């Protein structure tokens, strides 16, 4: 029939802008999650190293749950659990909350490994020079240990940027969700997924490149 409506349209420049806006939302939730998760991870990692038995039995057990349970299950469970306790959270807030704890769980082990990487003789030498425990951490352990595990932290950060796509199950309009909407409308999955992949690369590559420059600067 000539009067029948067309439900599909070709991929247009406005669709590319739509993906760009969604990429901005992906970047936003990733920055929030990585920042909060890294800060919490540093605190948790220090606690796990400083008080091995007690912290491992409490904080370590909780973090193991977040590391072991698939992220998509965590997102769905927490998003539906918040309203039950009277705490209403939108998709962005709920997604950022879960991603932050998930990031903290990964960073905690990285930080603990960095602290352990600083040899006991070096720490004893710092204390013999009159440094307090906190001065030892600030001037010896953190600069050396965190520098050693920086590549591992970059790997975690890049992983979180990609894992943020799972927040789409909560209805948050990030890059993957926007791609699914456009694929349904245009029926051109190759073009749209190629554009989405390019946006993910554009979000991840600067961090990877900058981290490599920092490592080269530290090595020189």
Q: Is 131 helix (H, G, I), strand (E, B) or coil?
A: coil
**Within a 13 Å sphere around the CA of 109, how many CA atoms are in the beta-carbon half?**
15
Same domain, 123 and 193: no
Same domain, 165 and 74: yes
Is residue 217 pLDDT above 50, yes or no? Answer: yes
Domain that holds residue 194: 187-220
Same domain, 63 and 157: yes
Q: How many independent structural domains does the chain possess?
A: 2
Same domain, 166 and 193: no
Q: Is residue 21 part of a domain?
A: no
Same domain, 113 and 80: yes
pLDDT (tens digit, 9 = 90+) per residue, 41-100?
999 988 888 776 776 777 778 888 888 889 999 999 888 887 887 788 888 999 999 999
Q: Is residue 9 part of a domain?
A: no
Specify the pLDDT at position 73: 92
Closest CA to 20 of 184, 157, 182, 171: 182
Same domain, 104 and 192: no
Q: Is residue 14 part of a domain?
A: no
Specify the pLDDT at position 88: 81
Q: Which two tokens stand for residue 100?
A: 């932050």
Specify the pLDDT at position 8: 65
Same domain, 75 and 102: yes
User: Rounded to the nearest 5°, which phi and psi values hold at 201?
Assistant: -65, -40
The pTM for the full model equals: 0.85
E strand or H helix that includes residue 5: none
CA distances from 71 to 66, 86, 165, 187, 191 (A): 8, 23, 11, 29, 28
When pLDDT is averaged across residues 108-114 and rounded to a whole number, the result is 88
Same domain, 92 and 163: yes
CA distances from 48 to 124, 133, 153, 207 (A): 20, 16, 17, 28
**Residue where one domain finishes, among candidates 174, 196, 212:** 174
Same domain, 128 and 169: yes
Q: Is residue 201 part of a domain?
A: yes
Same domain, 161 and 203: no
Share of the chain above pLDDT 90, in %: 30
Same domain, 135 and 209: no
The residue with greater pLDDT, 134 or 202, is 202
Q: Is residue 108 part of a domain?
A: yes
Specify the pLDDT at position 25: 92
Closest CA to 27 of 19, 98, 15: 19
Is residue 3 pLDDT above 60, yes or no? Answer: no
pLDDT (tens digit, 9 = 90+) per residue, 148-159?
888 889 999 999
CA 11, CA 184: separation in Å to the nearest integer?
A: 11
Specify the pLDDT at position 106: 93
Q: Which two tokens stand for residue 4?
A: 């029948």
User: Rounded to the nearest 5°, which phi and psi values hold at 41?
Assistant: -65, -40
């Amino acid at each position: 029939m000539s009067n029948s409506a067309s439900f599909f349209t070709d991929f247009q420049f406005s669709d590319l802008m739509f993906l760009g806006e969604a990429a901005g939302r992906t970047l936003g939730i990733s920055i929030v999650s990585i920042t909060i998760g890294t800060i919490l991870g540093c605190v948790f990692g220090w606690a796990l190293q400083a008080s091995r038995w007690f912290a491992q039995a409490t904080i370590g057990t909780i973090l193991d749950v977040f590391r072991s349970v698939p992220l998509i299950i965590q997102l769905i469970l927490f998003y539906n659990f918040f309203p039950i306790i009277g705490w209403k959270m939108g998709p962005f807030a709920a997604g950022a909350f879960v991603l932050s704890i998930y990031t903290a769980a990964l960073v905690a082990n990285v930080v603990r490994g960095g602290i352990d990487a600083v040899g006991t003789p070096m720490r004893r030498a710092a204390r013999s020079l009159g440094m307090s425990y906190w001065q030892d951490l600030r001037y010896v352990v953190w600069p050396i240990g965190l520098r050693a595990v920086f590549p591992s932290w970059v790997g975690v950060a890049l992983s979180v940027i990609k894992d943020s796509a799972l927040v789409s199950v909560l209805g948050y309009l990030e890059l993957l969700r926007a791609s699914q909407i456009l694929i349904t409308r245009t029926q051109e999955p190759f073009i749209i997924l190629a554009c989405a992949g390019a946006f993910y690369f554009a979000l991840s590559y600067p961090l990877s490149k900058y981290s490599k420059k920092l490592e080269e600067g530290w090595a020189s």
